[in-house]
């Protein structure tokens, strides 16, 4: 784990990329890789890679590089992929169903155990192997199953209220796809706000720069 508790957010955000690239190298049968070779693949400097990994103790050997399988496993532990945190999803509309269907929660440290919505037309229908429940069942469900993570695919107006309730029920982390910048006045709560529209605008900014340079 980390040498100290002050790892920068930029380092943390690079960890999933390391995990993903090392996973691909494992699939290709690569046994070891140097920081220089990894830097060429990831478009980072070798120095940056060494600095990032040294935040967690360092894993390479001088003259040998990194053992791909071992480093992949260690980064996975840092990211918590071995924990399989119990996860619920609130909002089974188009986005919620797509996330529940196409995101492999099991390989990313979570286990989806419940899906909730308020739409009577879809209550009782299945998404994968889970049946959509009414949000009125959340309280009893959480007390019986103790989920730690919530995926929020709900309207902006209801996000804070739902999040407050879930925190009171013991949830510790939120993957928030609503248009509400969730900031909860509680300690030890993790929030990852995902703004797909903002991401698209970042893309169009880059496209605009290229277009104007032609």
pLDDT digits (tens, 9 = 90+) for 110-151: 999 999 999 999 999 999 999 999 999 999 999 999 999 999
Q: Are residues 106 and 164 in the same domain?
A: yes
Q: Answer with the one of 78, 110, 127 that is the final residue of a domain.
A: 78
pLDDT digits (tens, 9 = 90+) for 83-118: 999 999 999 999 999 999 999 999 999 999 999 999
In a domain, 204, yes or no: no
Contacts of 2 (CB under 8 A, 6+ apart): 55, 56, 57, 78
CA 155/CA 203 separation, integer angstroms: 24
In DSSP terms, 33 is beta-bridged to: 66
CATH of the domain at 183: 3.40.50.720
Structure token digits, residue 19: 């995990």
pLDDT score at 119: 96
In a domain, 104, yes or no: yes
Full-model pTM: 0.88
pLDDT score at 136: 96
CATH of the domain at 72: 1.10.10.10
Q: Are residues 90 and 143 in the same domain?
A: yes
156 φ, ψ (degrees, to nearest 5)? -55, -40
Cα dist from 165 to 12, 147, 149, 151, whole Å: 28, 13, 13, 14
Mean pLDDT of the chain: 91
Q: Are residues 53 and 34 in the same domain?
A: yes
pLDDT score at 6: 75
Q: Which helix (H) or strand (E) holds 149?
A: strand 149-152
Number of helical H runs and strand E runs in the chain: 8, 9
Per the CB < 8 A criterion, the answer to whether 151 and 90 are in contact is yes
pLDDT score at 4: 43
pLDDT score at 150: 97
In a domain, 3, yes or no: no
pLDDT digits (tens, 9 = 90+) for 181-206: 887 778 889 999 998 888 898 989 99
Q: Total structural domains in the chain?
A: 2
Structural domain of 50: 9-78
Q: How many CB atoms lie within 10 A of CB 163?
A: 25
Per the CB < 8 A criterion, the answer to whether 181 and 117 are in contact is no
């Amino acid at each position: 784990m980390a040498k100290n508790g002050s790892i920068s957010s930029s380092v943390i955000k690079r960890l999933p990329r390391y995990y993903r690239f090392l996973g691909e190298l494992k699939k290709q049968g690569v046994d070891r890789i140097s920081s220089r070779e990894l830097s060429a693949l990831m478009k980072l400097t070798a120095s940056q890679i060494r600095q990032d990994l040294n935040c967690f103790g360092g894993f390479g050997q001088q003259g040998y590089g990194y053992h791909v399988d071992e480093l992949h496993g260690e980064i996975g532990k840092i990211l918590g992929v071995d924990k399989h945190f119990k996860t619920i999803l609130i909002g089974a509309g188009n986005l919620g169903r797509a996330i529940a269907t196409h995101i492999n929660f099991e390989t990313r440290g979570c286990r989806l155990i419940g899906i909730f919505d308020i739409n009577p037309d879809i209550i009782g229908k299945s998404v994968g192997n889970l049946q959509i429940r009414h949000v009125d069942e959340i309280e009893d469900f959480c007390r019986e199953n103790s989920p730690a993570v919530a995926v929020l695919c709900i309207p902006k107006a209801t996000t804070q209220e739902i999040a407050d309730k879930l925190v009171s029920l013991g949830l510790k982390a939120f993957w928030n796809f609503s248009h509400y910048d969730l900031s909860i006045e509680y300690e030890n709560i993790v929030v990852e706000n995902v703004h797909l529209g903002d991401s698209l605008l970042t893309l169009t900014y880059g496209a605009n720069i290229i277009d104007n340079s032609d």
